[in-house]
Structures are given as structure tokens and as C-alpha cells.
Amino acid sequence: MSNIMPYSRQLIEDDDIQAVLKVLKSDYLTQGPEIAAFEKELAEYTGARYAVLFSSGTAALHGAYFAAGLKAGEEVITTPNTFAATANAALYLGGRPVFADIELKTGNINLDLIEEKITTKTKILTVVDYSGYPVDMDRARDIAKKYGLVLVEDACHSLGAYYKSKKIGTLADMTILSFHPVKSITTGEGGAVLTDNEEYYHKLLLFRQHGISKENFINEAHGTWYYEMQLLGYNYRMSDIQAALGRSQLKKLDRFIARRREIISFYQEFFSDNEYFDFTVEEEGYFSSWHLFPIRLKEHLITKKRKIFEALRAQGLWVQVHYIPVYWLPFYQSLGYPKGICPNAEKFYESEISIPVYQAMTLEDARKVASILLEVLQNV
């Protein structure tokens, strides 16, 4: 692994290890005080009223769609340029994902195309901050309000980002976070839902713990041991071990984002006049967390993408592609989704490669990546 530079990876430091060891030596490995403490600190950092931790970003999406009241046959409008979980979580509840095409310049959902997708069955609009670059949340919120939709922001890439000077976390009805190791901070596996809505908050708490409540009972309590299962929930709890790691990592988030942005600034300057690919540049009012640095090969190189990709990996750059359009995946094909419904997303996939950017990188590392990339492109 020492000779390989992945597209992203975690940075675990000594204080993170000590935080985890402290919990391992404590009385609580799960359902203990670290959970509430991490939730409080997440809410304070983002400005959200409530934060609810989950065992993964996928579980958090499932919980959010449940809290929104998604029923079988109802629709969730979202982007195909995302990890499958964004759409899968609708299927878990019997809902139907409806895909709207993207903007090529950002990889984000094209908000101009949302209204034509809305039907009487539409319940949720889920936008995704692709690569950490925020969606135009004012516009997304206006659309959701106009049609009475629940607005979910899949911010699994964008913790630490800003939209019009506001931190990601309070701009939607519910905001989803992921703490997978490739993200800006990690708990190993883990996720969260941020919300200002008290009703959603209580539903999320029940949903992640089997639907079981130990307070606010429907029936008369039998004693202090009493609990009630009030809805069909799941065991989607995060452990205190993970939460302790998350708390330690959260203290470093701004530093981690600053390093990622330093790497991106170098890339953008280095590649400014290149003839091989395009990349996203922040517009006024947008502050990306730069979870990814996606390059988009120019037309004359698209047919050579596989050769380029393999050549980069052979040089130790563990690049990746984000994403195969969700509806191209075999399972979605079996559900009857045709190819061709989002031509920009398909073109984006055919041209996109994510090159390394992560908080442990140095500018020397970035220079090495840039030099290898240009060398490969010149020789392909």
C-alpha cells in the first residue's frame, strides 16, 4: 500500500487511537455516552438542531426516507450520478427512484429538470453534493416547497462544505452524512442524519433502534424495565468505539478540508491550460469540501479511458470512476430502467476519472500525481 496513492483515504493520528482505547477500557462499548456527545458536537459544528447517528450513510438514508413518510409506490426524485445507496434506500421502503439528469460542469443534479419529473406520487427530492460541491440549495428548497416535497440533501461527500456562507447541514429538511474511511472524517463505518424537525428527529431515533421506545409510551408502563416497540425499525446503531473516533476526527475536520483544498488549488493551477481534460471550478457562493477531484476527459480521449485508467493504476495511482449511472446497474436494469434517460450522466461516466486527493497528501504527492497523469495522457 505504501507505493500506492488511492483516490482518497483516512488519516488516523495518535489522539484518534487514544480516544478509541479509552472507550475500549470503559464500561460502555455501545449505547453509551459517546453517542450523545458526538451527536451534540455534530449538531454544534453544522448548526443543525438535531443529529442522529447511524451505522452507515446508507442506514441514515433509509432512516431519512422513513422519517419523511415514504410509502410503497411513492417516488423519490434524485440523480443517477451517485452511489447506489441514494436510490436503494427508496426501494427498501417500496418507493420508486426517479432519475433526473445532471449538469456536466459540476456533476450535480440539473435543477431545471426537476419539475417535469414531479407527479402526484412524488414524495421526496433528494439532491447529492457530488464530489463535495454543494447543490444550489435555495433553488432546491424553492422547488420542494412549491410542490410540498420533503427535501433531503445527500451530503455524504460534503461535510465541511459551505453554500452561501452557510455550513452544509441546515439547508434541507434532512441532511445525510457518511463517515466511511474515504470521507473527510471517519468512524470506520457510520453515518448521520441532521435535521431541525423535531418530529423527524424522534422517528429517526426509533427507527435506528428496532422501533423501540423506553419513554413516551402508548400503553401504561408495567415498571421501570418497561419498553415498547412502536414501529418496525432496524438495528442501525453506531457503537461508542466508532463515536469516540468520530469525535476525535471532527476536531480536525477544518484542518482536513483545508489540506484537501490546498491540494485542489495546486491541481487547478497545474492543469489550468491542459488540453486533455476539464474539471470543476468553484463559483461564487460555493465552498466545496473536495471529497473528490473528478477530471472529465475531452472528447478525443474518451475512447481511451480504459487504457488511461489502467496506465495510471500501473503507475501506483489508485484512481477510481464516480459513478456508473445507477440505472445502468444490472439490478436497476432488471426493474425496467432503460439506458439513455440521463444522457449527461452517461457522458459524465464515460469521461470521468477521480484522481487522488486526501488529507494525508503533501504538495509533493500532488506534484507526483499531476506529473504522472500528464505523462500518461501525453503517451496514450
Residues labelled catalytic: 183
Give the C-alpha separation, 145 to 365, whole Å: 45
Ranges of beta strands (E only) in 155-275 are: 162-163, 166-167, 174-178, 191-195, 212-213, 228-229
What single DSSP character describes residue 193? E
CA-nearest of 348, 183, 366, 358 to 268 is 366
CA-nearest of 309, 284, 292, 325 to 380 is 309
Question: Regarding beta strands 286-287 and 162-163, do their DSSP bridges make them parallel or antiparallel, or are they unpaired?
Answer: antiparallel
- Residue 243, all three cell numbers: 463515536
Torsions phi, psi for 292 (to 5 deg): -130, 155
Q: Is 82 in contact with 107 (CB distance < 8 Å)?
A: no
b/e map 150-159, b = 16+ CB within 10 Å: bbbbbbbbbb
Give me the residues paired with residue 150 across strands: 124
450522466: which residue's cell?
A: 345
Q: How many CA atoms lie within 13 A of 211 on its CB side?
A: 9
Q: Is 7 in contact with 320 (CB distance < 8 Å)?
A: yes
Say whether the peptide bond before residue 323 is cis (omega within 30 degrees of 0).
yes
As a dihedral over the C-alpha atoms of residue 199, residue 205, residue 210, residue 215, rounded to 10 degrees, the angle is -80
Q: Following DSSP, what letter does each residue of 19-71 receive, concatenated? A: HHHHHHTSS-SBSSHHHHHHHHHHHHHHT-SEEEEESSHHHHHHHHHHHTT--
